[in-house]
Amino acid sequence: MDINKILTADILDLIFEGRNKEYGAYDLRKTYKKRLIISVTSMLAICLLVFLGSVLAKYVVPEKQTQILVEDVSLADVKQDEKKPEPPPPPPPPKVEPPKVEITKFTPPKIVKDEEVKPDEKPPEQDKLDDTKIGTINQEGEKSDVIAPPVEQSTGQVEAPKAQVEDYDKEFKTVQIEAKFPGGSGAWTKYLERNLNSNVPVDNGAPPANYTVIVSFLVDKNGNISEVQALNDPGYGTKEEAVRVIKKGPAWTPAVQNGRNVIYRQKQSITFQVSEG
């Protein structure tokens, strides 16, 4: 290279002086800045397009908003399968009273003086005994050869009904004092709202609507929760989410019947509200 051109020559020309510039290394280094500018500009343009697209999508396609409603459910609110009433039993046949038979009271014979015999203790006449039956009382009726049944005389005493023994190990649906969550219903509602994932239906593609799950569970004598099961399934993962949160719930205050802790069936309604943003 001419000595006068060294001061104005590019450093690449000095490095590749006398070498094969057609090999490719020279061209790569020569166009490096141009390629760097193009790549950086392209990357910034793509990032800008993605950002603008996400901003516009919020205005064109609004996001779905979800909300959870927790409501108490009484046993009467849940419709069970209605049982057809059984037909009434047939009326009992009319009671037929047996015909009364004439009875003459038999008086055991005693040897006493005539003046000491009382009128009701006089023995019946022999001819009357031929036409009537002998018994323990005097009774008017038909003369018959059928032996009259003995007449029972009531003592006037009525036996009191036997007291039923309450089974306190069974499952109670109605009690004197219902099971309660520590802190009351307000604390139970806060527990559910804090632990339930309200985005479950949206994440599973649920359209805007209300999805209500009714969950049934037992509170035992110690207040522990068991047998958690959903009575319905609106879909989109709402049933599984409601059962999951109630299963891991803390212990309750048990229900009381006649002063004893009993097993109580509790029901809870949880509504997932999905609406357009």
- In order, the DSSP letters of 44-109 are HHHHHHHHHHHHHHHHHSPPEEEEEEEEE--GGGSPPPPPPPPPPPPPPPPPPPPPPB-EEE----
Q: Residue 265 and residue 243: Cα distance in Å, rounded?
A: 15
- The pair of structure tokens assigned to 16 is 């590749």
Residue for token pair 């609106």: 234
CATH topology of domain 65-78+168-276: 3.30.1150
- The per-residue pLDDT for range 91-140, each reduced to its tens digit, is 888 877 777 767 666 666 666 666 666 666 666 666 665 666 666 666 67
Pairing outcome for strands 103-105 and 133-135: parallel
The whole-number average pLDDT for the span 51-80 is: 61
- The per-residue pLDDT for range 183-234, each reduced to its tens digit, is 998 999 999 999 999 899 999 999 999 999 999 999 999 999 999 999 999 9
- The pair of structure tokens assigned to 198 is 């309200």
pLDDT band at 26 (very low <50, low <70, confident <90, very high): low
Interacting residues of 16 by C-beta distance below 8 A, sequence separation 6+: 25, 26
Pairing outcome for strands 255-257 and 103-105: unpaired
Q: Are 207 and 262 in contact (CB under 8 A)?
A: no
Query: How high is the pLDDT of residue 131?
Result: 62
Q: Are 139 and 150 in contact (CB under 8 A)?
A: no
Q: Which of 227, 222, 229 is nearest to 251 (CA)?
A: 222
Residue for token pair 């985005």: 199
Q: Which of 196, 213, 209 is nearest to 267 (CA)?
A: 213
Looking at per-residue pLDDT, the higher value among 53 and 38 belongs to 38
Residues of the chain with CATH 3.30.1150: 65-78+168-276
- The per-residue pLDDT for range 8-22, each reduced to its tens digit, is 556 666 666 656 666
